[in-house]
Amino acid sequence: MRFACFLLFWCSGWALQAQQGFTFTRFTTDDGAGLSSNVVYSLYQDEKGFLWVGTANGLQRFDGSKFVHFGVGGNEAMPFNAVTQIIPFSGGKLLLNFGNLHEIGVFDPAHFSYKKLAVQTVRPLPAKTDFILWKDAYGEIYLNVSRYGVLHFKAAENAFVDDHSFPFPTGYFPTLNGVYDDAVKGQVWFACAEKGLCVYDRKSRQMWYRGYNPQHLPLLMNEEVQDRPTEFFIDRQRRFWIFAWPVKTPKGQIKFCLDSSGRNYLQKDTIGLTGMSIGYAEYRSFLDAKRSGLWIYGLNVFYNWDANEGRFHYTKSTAGNGINSIQYNAVHQLIEDRDGNIWVATDRGLYFTSYGSGTYSVVNYLFDNSKEQNNINDVLELPDGELWFASWGKGVLALDSSFKEKPIPVYQKPPPANWPDLQKSSVKLAWNLFYEKRTGDVWIGCNHGVLLKYNPVKKTTQYLLPPACGMSTIRYITEDKVGNVWLGTQSGRLVKWDGRAFTVVQEIGTIIYKIFTDRQGELWLATEGKGLFEVEPQSGRIVRQFTKETAPHLYGNSGSDIEQLNDSIIVFGAGALNFINKNSGTVTLLRFEDGLPSNSVRRLRMDGDGFLWIVTANGLSRYNPYNNRITTYGRKDGITLAEQTADADYRTQKGYIVFTGGDALMMFKPSLFVTSSEPPDAVITDFKIFNQFIPVDSLTQLPHIKLSPDQTSFSIYFSSLSYQQRDRLTYYFKMEGIDKDWQAADGVYFHNYSLLPPGRYTFKVYAVNVEGVRSKGTTELHIVVKPPFYRSMWFMAALIFLLILIVYFLHRERVNRLLAVEKIRNRVARDLHDDMGSTLSTINILSAMAKSKMTTDPVKTAGYISKISDNSQRMMEAMDDIVWSIKPSNDTMQRVTARMREFATGVLEAKDISLQFVVEDEVFNVKLNMEARRDFFLIFKEALNNAAKYSKATSVKVNVAVQNKQLMFTIKDNGTGFDVAKADSGNGLGNMKKRADGVHGRLRIRSADGEGTEVKLSVPVM
């Protein structure tokens, strides 16, 4: 889009040759955008469109809305120091010059890493050495070291080395800003302050200078430019620019400009650079911009070439917020962005200004109020292209080509002597101007019904006081299709002049601000408080009246301007925009809620391409009827006075739009605001998960972004990275996998996604400009939301395996239980067979023997019966033990110790043996399985029976305890004892040991003749 530069262009044959200047937008640390320092040294726009900014506090990046600070910690930390140069490096990396530190390093935005580069010299560096990086036409990078020479970057060594890339003659050391690579001729020029100029010719690999000039180059033979040159530049016109601080004729810094041959001085091309008193200054650098021309800048220096005036224009450092103010002591760097606009790095902040194209597109002019106040009410263009203005106080005035007031002999003839003083004093209280085509007269409507007709050719003035106007201020004058002139007054009279007489056609009863003749010849009246009237010019009757109260409803009843959008649509500015369909009589509103900058429309004017230009309380905007879009224009476009130009409008013969009011004038060419080219592709500027920003450079390098299950809520930020167009682009996006259709980003540059289900997604976004032109490419970001672990494939496989394992173990447990039951049944059967079977067999034998001896030997019979009784008793006890061990309720140690105590008491009391039975509390926490519990008890039972039967003791002590994860009991008597070594197993000792081994226990028996016996069993427990 061609955007505005300030205060100069040729308009309708009227050459506005006032001093031109650019409108600057300033960024500082105070505006909340995030700039870390007002001292800005360096600038670079990368391929994506990001603007990299080197400040006194380190490196930052600007995406059009905010500055992001970049820092790298670790072993090779990137310094938070002045970044004096930013040079593009391979692979999207940046080469940074930390001038104050004499450090050069490479920053990789994609991997967020920094690598310091070595500077290797063959001799010590001089004191107060400075570094300047530069890249030649072939991409080779060099380092200018003041008073030393040029070092070459070697990628293999990752260092700048002194490889004598340029064979300088002895004593030739290039200055920091004295290098220019002439890609056209394959030569590199060097300004060496101590010796003069030299040039390296790539083809011959020779260094030419005034002592060796085989090609007889005129510049090398020119002794004047050899005197301490410090800056060298070749512009697009192939002119040589050489700045020097001569010693032979010390006059400060001298500026030379020579033609492409190097022979002829071009003094006219340096006009403006010299002769101005701007104090001490250093002209250091050049920018030859494609669209805005040549710039020269440095310390207290900021010039640009004014193509129309044929001279350099000096932009002075001025404080405040003027329409073209910029503050600086030093301008460190200028760059031209990909839109052609200029970014300015200064020691007072970062500045932006839109470009010019030789013929500048916007005029912002303030009339001189130093002597008398200006209140401009109307503007008119004469057939010769001259613009006239109606002023309340000064009457009619014009501006010459230098923007100075041009006298017009309207008032050479005084008003009639017989006029009342009130009317005499009103002739310069002008409200409107009208050019009558038939006569060539300019009509001037004034206060209190005064009307002047001035003929510019004859230079004659007529003073009229039409009675039809009723001494009321004439607010508007126009003509209809047949040449009748119509006047609207402050009191609401609609007056017609048919060439013969003034006639009152309608009494509206309120101020008539404007009379508009549509394409079909109908008249429309904009009024105060009574809405919009349609009047038939032939009969003068009111055809229709549109108001806020009656259907179809207007937005407001007071409006000051009318325009026609097409054959059927009338636009009335009454608060909001009111679109009246002449054919259907319907009214459509365009309000603030619908995108209008303000519900206070002041002026309307159609341009030649069918766009409607609007001035509201919020400035200038444009309505595009082809896509129903509103576009605003402001300081970034060179528009600075729009809010003040709310009283009159005009479209010139050459198509320029003029708005004016108060003491302000704004003019522009609408076509320069139209963009038919594609907008830049949208770029993903930020990626935020919850409230944390993730470095987007590294993310965009990945084939897809992987998000964990707890990162399903995130925001994606996007922008076209065009600061000027950013607010005028509409972004369309969709997330494939969720969205079916494209969605428009309504005035925002991001979109939030919440609780995305697991899956693969592709975020797509593109931009559309105000003309409906879409960006060439669609930006994509691939995202994978990983499922939670319980929905992942590995978890599902593990779960299936676990289920199979559980089924297996359940089956195995069931089998084990069946086997255990079978084992119990077998053991019970074995016990029943062994104990019960043998006992019953014995009882059976004894019964038979007793039966046989019953009559013959009663004594033996009684003995047999006694044995039968004893065996029966043992069988009952054995049966009771089997049943007790099987019963689940007896699994606790409380039941086990209770049975042990019960058994011990019953056995020992029968023998009159005292019992001391102790159970420690820890025992009750022990768990034993059924078999261990049964064997533990039976060993105890056997040991206690032995003590009762054979020990002849009077006292038995029983202690049950847990020690070192061992369940143990101790039975100690004070009986006669026995020799353990000589004892046989007849008393059940062998059986006891067998049972102890079965439960992995340890049985210890200590006894001696006359010392009693101690039986101790320990069983491992968990």
Residue 933 predicted with pLDDT over 60: yes
Q: Coil, strand or helix: which one is 987?
A: helix
CA distance 429 to 473: 10
CA distance 804 to 798: 10
- State the pLDDT at residue 914: 92
Residue matched to tokens 């760097």: 333
CA distance 37 to 693: 22
Q: Pairing mode, if any, of strands 51-55 and 58-62? A: antiparallel
- State the pLDDT at residue 76: 79
Q: The pTM is what?
A: 0.72
Q: In the structure, what pLDDT confidence band is assigned to residue 615 with cuts at 50, 70 and 90?
A: very high
Q: Coil, strand or helix: which one is 134?
A: strand
Residue 895 predicted with pLDDT over 90: no
Task: Report yes or no: 89 and 95 within 8 Å, Cβ to Cβ.
Answer: yes
- State the pLDDT at residue 18: 39
Q: Compute the average pLDDT of residues 951-971.
A: 91
Name the percent of the chain lying above pLDDT 90.
58
Both tokens of residue 674?
């139209």
To the nearest whole number, what is the mean pLDDT of the chain?
88
- State the pLDDT at residue 11: 38
Per residue in 666-718, pLDDT (tens digit) is 998 898 787 777 888 999 998 999 888 887 887 887 888 999 888 889 999 99
CATH 2.160.10.10 fits 683-786, yes or no: no
More confident site: 8 or 610: 610
Q: Does residue 788 have a cis peptide bond before it, meaning omega lies within 30 degrees of 0?
A: no
CA distance 531 to 424: 33
- State the pLDDT at residue 357: 34
More confident site: 11 or 361: 361
Return phi, psi of residue 785, to 5°: -95, 110
More confident site: 533 or 16: 533
* 944: DSSP letter: H
The total of other beta-carbon atoms located within 10 Å of residue 725's CB is 20
Per residue in 70-126, pLDDT (tens digit) is 887 767 789 999 999 999 999 899 999 999 999 999 999 988 889 999 999 999 998
Per residue in 47-70, pLDDT (tens digit) is 999 999 999 999 999 998 899 998
Per residue in 766-816, pLDDT (tens digit) is 999 888 889 999 999 999 998 887 777 888 888 899 999 999 998 888 888
Specify the CATH class of 892-1021 in words.
alpha beta
Name the percent of the chain lying above pLDDT 70.
91
Residue 858 predicted with pLDDT over 80: no
Return phi, psi of residue 101, to 5°: -100, -5
Q: In the structure, what pLDDT confidence band is assigned to residue 493 with cuts at 50, 70 and 90?
A: very high
Burial of 1016 (0-12, 13-18, 19+ CB in 10 A): middle
Q: In the structure, what pLDDT confidence band is assigned to residue 145 with cuts at 50, 70 and 90?
A: very high
Residue 479 predicted with pLDDT over 50: yes
Long-range contact list for 71-76, CB < 8 A, 24+ apart? Answer: 72/107, 72/112, 72/113, 72/114, 76/105, 76/113, 76/114, 76/115, 76/116
CA distance 304 to 353: 12
CA distance 469 to 493: 7
Residue 831 predicted with pLDDT over 70: no
- Tell me the DSSP string of 14-63: EEE-SPPB--EEEE-TTSSS--S-S-EEEEEE-TT-PEEEEETTEEEEE-
- State the pLDDT at residue 824: 66
Q: In the structure, what pLDDT confidence band is assigned to residue 662 with cuts at 50, 70 and 90?
A: very high
Residue matched to tokens 């006075």: 641
Q: Range with the lowest mean pLDDT among 130-139, 408-417, 687-696, 858-867? A: 858-867
Question: For 82, what's the count of Cα atoms within 13 Å in the CB-facing half-sphere?
Answer: 15
Residue 835 predicted with pLDDT over 70: no
Q: What is the dihedral of CA 411, 417, 421, 426, to 10 degrees?
A: -30
Per residue in 741-780, pLDDT (tens digit) is 999 887 788 899 988 899 999 999 999 988 888 999 999 9
Q: Range with the lowest mean pLDDT among 431-440, 628-637, 984-993? A: 984-993
- State the pLDDT at residue 5: 35
More confident site: 409 or 992: 409
Q: Compute the average pLDDT of residues 721-734.
A: 86
Q: Structural domain boundaries of the chain?
A: 683-786, 792-886, 892-1021
Residue 9 predicted with pLDDT over 50: no
Q: Compute the average pLDDT of residues 457-474.
A: 96
* 710: DSSP letter: T
Per residue in 504-563, pLDDT (tens digit) is 999 999 999 999 999 999 999 999 999 999 999 999 999 999 999 999 999 999 999 999
Residue matched to tokens 């991997």: 111
Return phi, psi of residue 861, to 5°: -60, -45
- State the pLDDT at residue 130: 93
Q: In the structure, what pLDDT confidence band is assigned to residue 13 with cuts at 50, 70 and 90?
A: very low
